[in-house]
């Protein structure tokens, strides 16, 4: 079972490393791999071999995790095609939380 990663208090914006760590933890849980095997430069398809169902699961997990921090956080459907790497997702999430 996945346990939500600790995020800083509501009054401070998360740093890049914290957002990466949360996404890394979510991916590790979905893929059932060690977090250390996931790097920011990894491609979802080529490096991590995420299928479409796993990608949907990841998007839902990210939305759930970060909606606790930023009310109504959502990854827009039209933005999904641009999110090809872990770095892309970190870059997408960071200014929105």
- Other CB atoms within a 10 A radius of the CB of residue 71 amount to 6
Site of tokens 């740093």: 15
Site of tokens 């760590």: 21
Contact criterion met (CB below 8 Å) for 43 and 37: no
CATH number of the domain at 48, please: 1.10.1200.10
Mean pLDDT within 56-85: 90
Packing angle, helices 16-31 and 86-93, rounded to 10:
130
Residue at 8 is within a domain: no
Q: How many alpha carbons lie under 13 Å from residue 72 in its C-beta half-sphere? A: 0
Q: How many domains does the chain have?
A: 1
Residue at 6 is within a domain: no
Domain of residue 45 covers 16-96
Q: Is 0.85 topped by the overall pTM? A: no
pLDDT tier, 8 (very low <50, low <70, confident <90, very high otherwise): very low
Residue at 3 is within a domain: no
Residue at 22 is within a domain: yes
Q: What tens digit of pLDDT does each residue of 65-78 get?
A: 998 877 788 999 89
- Other CB atoms within a 10 A radius of the CB of residue 56 amount to 12
Residue at 2 is within a domain: no
Average pLDDT of every residue of the chain: 87
């Amino acid at each position: 079972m996945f346990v939500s990663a600790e995020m800083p208090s509501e009054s401070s914006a998360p740093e890049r490393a914290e957002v990466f760590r949360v996404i890394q933890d979510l991916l590790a849980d979905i893929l059932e791999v060690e977090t250390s095997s996931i790097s920011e430069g990894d491609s979802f398809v080529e490096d991590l071999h995420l299928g479409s169902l796993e990608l949907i699961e990841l998007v839902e997990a990210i939305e759930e995790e970060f909606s606790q921090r930023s009310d109504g956080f959502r990854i827009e459907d039209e933005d999904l095609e641009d999110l090809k790497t872990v770095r892309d997702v970190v870059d997408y999430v960071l200014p929105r939380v």
